[in-house]
Amino acid sequence: MTSAPESDFVSPFHQEARPGTPPLTVLNPKVPQPTVSHLLPTLRLYGLFGAGVLIPLMMAWVPGDGIGIGWAVMVLYDLVVLIMTLLDYQRSQQWHIQVIRQCDPRLSIGRDNPVHLMVTVAQGPDQATTTQLRIRDSYPSDFRTDQDIHSFQIAPHTETGLTYHVFPPRRGVFQWQGLMLRLLSPQGLVWRAWQIPIETQVDVYPDLMGLRLLSIRLSLEAAGGIRRRQRVLGGTEFAELQEYNRGDDLRLIDWKATARRGHPLVRVCEPERDQPLLILLDRGRLMTSQVAGLKRFDWALNATLSLAMAGLRRGDRVGVCVFDHDMHTWIPPQSGNSYLSRILDQVYSLEPVMTESDYLAVVSRVLSQYTRRALVVLLTDIVDPIASSELLAAMARLSPRFLPFCVTLRDPLIDAQAHQPLALNHDSQEEQVQQRFEQAVALDLIHQRSIAFAQLRQKGVLVLDAPAPNISEQLVDQYLLLKARNRL
């Protein structure tokens, strides 16, 4: 995959970010020149002009040509207000403001990614203390944000930091166009509006933030930071000797080493390494549906990368296959922490397609190309035993040579509809009927899925059905548990 071209605000010393490393920052070394500003009236200015209309009305009661005098006074009054407005606007232009945008060059899909704005005020008008500034960032239209307009007070010779978050719903290359600013004039008569053309280009990747958190967690576990988890899970491959602690298994005491040292020592074992892990990622029609703001395929892709990282960090050889009606992408199993970058580069730009997936064909190719026993994880979705009959048959073919593991992504909305309380009495009869109908459909979908899962378990297939937003964490936990129990 070719990386996206760097924008003018990427540092020349920028290096490509790797999963598991701290986030890099996109800066704009050049100071962009603001566009021509224009004025926008405030409510105070409208009120002043509206007060001028009252002058002819009040002068109408004056004997003689009161109305004519009133109109002349109103014109003079409006001219004075207009001159005051222009002078006030001219004073607002004496504020010198610079804004810098900072963000990670690789954003994570489905996450709240922070974007930082640094506002520097060099100087302002004479005798000016504070004024109000409003900033609206022109983030990509596909993104969602937690704050659209930033309104705050500024003063001369100050710096203000602002932070908001964007939620990218899809992967790809996106660009910020600029910053729109509005500054309140000293007398509050007009807003000075202008735009700073700061263009920042970013790539939206799979969940890199989740990979960083997972990397920290795996490092802590590998270093012995979570002793209780190590005692519970254990393993079969000898790692080291440690002093006995209360709660350790007495069967793990090394009596020869204890006799030599004079105090109890226990053998610390870890799961076996260099075991093959094959991840089959479905990108067919079932993976195109939206779940919790993202496509099912995006959630499954995040889970694939998390599982691949966990496998590589545990010393296993990880391979990835992305398929629909045929095998689309095949990454052969290899080990090494750096191998995750190759996997990420090859699956980063993949999208689901509206074609039916051929599970039997993909499983047949796996059986023909790989003969060693391996953990085969298939990420897909299940509708019911009839619609997913080909999937059930394909997973059954993997047993007993492989350890098949079927992972499906459940829609939390269906769970909520199935368990929601019935409508209140004050709701209309039509609403109650509609709510009960939706609840019945949701319960039937859950029941049909459970039947399909039961058939998979009867054929020796491991099953994980988890909500899509939680699939990555639960899948990694299940993998580590399988490793500790030596299921391979």
pLDDT of residue 236: 55
Instruction: Scan for tokens 């009305």, then name that residue.
Output: 57
pLDDT of residue 69: 82
94-205 and 276-484: same fold? Answer: no
Domain segments of the chain: what residues?
41-92, 94-205, 209-270, 276-484
Please work out, in degrees rounded to the nearest 5, the angle formed at the alpha carbon of residue 454 by the alpha carbons of 450 and 455.
120
Q: What is the three-class DSSP state of 208?
A: helix
Of 149, 204, 158, 199, the C-alpha closest to 176 is 199
Residue 424 has pLDDT above 80, yes or no: no
Phi, psi of 427 (to 5 degrees): -70, 155
CB contact set of 1 (below 8 Å; sequence gap of 6+): 345, 346, 348, 349
| AA letter at 179 | L
Q: In whole angstroms, what is the distance from residue 405 CA to residue 462 CA?
A: 4
Tokens of 310: 């966990």
Threshold 0.85, pTM exceeds? no
Specify the higher pLDDT residue, 270 or 306: 306
Phi, psi of 27 (to 5 degrees): -115, 160
Do residues 293 and 169 touch, judged by C-beta distance below 8 A?
yes
User: If residue 137 lies in a helix (H) or strand (E), which one and from where to where?
Assistant: strand 131-137
Q: Give mean pLDDT, residues 293-297.
A: 93
- 397-430 burial, b at 16+ Cβ within 10 Å, e below that, comes to bbeeebbbbbbbbbbeebeebbeeeebeeeeeee
pLDDT of residue 463: 95
Phi, psi of 293 (to 5 degrees): 90, -10
User: If residue 209 lies in a helix (H) or strand (E), which one and from where to where?
Assistant: helix 208-222
- 147-156 burial, b at 16+ Cβ within 10 Å, e below that, comes to eeebeeebeb
CB contact set of 13 (below 8 Å; sequence gap of 6+): none
Do residues 345 and 304 touch, judged by C-beta distance below 8 A?
no
- Percentage of the chain exceeding pLDDT 90: 53
Phi/psi zone of residue 127: left (φ > 0), alpha (ψ -120 to 50 degrees), beta? Answer: left
Q: What is the three-class DSSP state of 297?
A: helix
CA 122 to chain centroid: 36
The number of C-alpha atoms within 13 Å of 256 and in the hemisphere containing its C-beta is 1
Q: Give mean pLDDT, residues 157-169.
A: 93
What does the pLDDT look like over 255-267, one tens digit per residue?
877 888 787 888 7
Q: In whole angstroms, what is the distance from residue 187 CA to residue 194 CA?
A: 19
Residue 18 has pLDDT above 50, yes or no: no
Q: What is the three-class DSSP state of 340?
A: helix
Do residues 385 and 392 touch, judged by C-beta distance below 8 A?
yes
Strand bridging mode 200-205 / 403-410? unpaired
Tokens of 139: 């983030």
Select the highest-mean-pLDDT range: 159-168, 230-239, 417-426: 159-168
Do residues 162 and 152 touch, judged by C-beta distance below 8 A?
yes
Task: Give the CATH fold of the 276-484 domain.
Answer: Rossmann fold (3.40.50)
What does the pLDDT look like over 321-356, one tens digit per residue?
999 998 999 999 999 989 999 999 999 899 999 999
What does the pLDDT look like over 134-147, one tens digit per residue?
999 999 988 999 99
Of 97, 71, 76, the C-alpha closest to 159 is 97
DSSP string, 361-418: HHHHHHHHH--S--EEEEEE----TTTTHHHHHHHHHHTTTSEEEEEEEE-HHHHHHH
Task: Give the CATH fold of the 94-205 domain.
Answer: Immunoglobulin-like (2.60.40)
What does the pLDDT look like over 35-84, one tens digit per residue?
678 899 999 999 999 988 888 887 767 676 767 888 888 899 999 999 99
Specify the higher pLDDT residue, 102 or 274: 102
Tokens of 68: 């004519």
Of 414, 408, 412, the C-alpha closest to 478 is 408
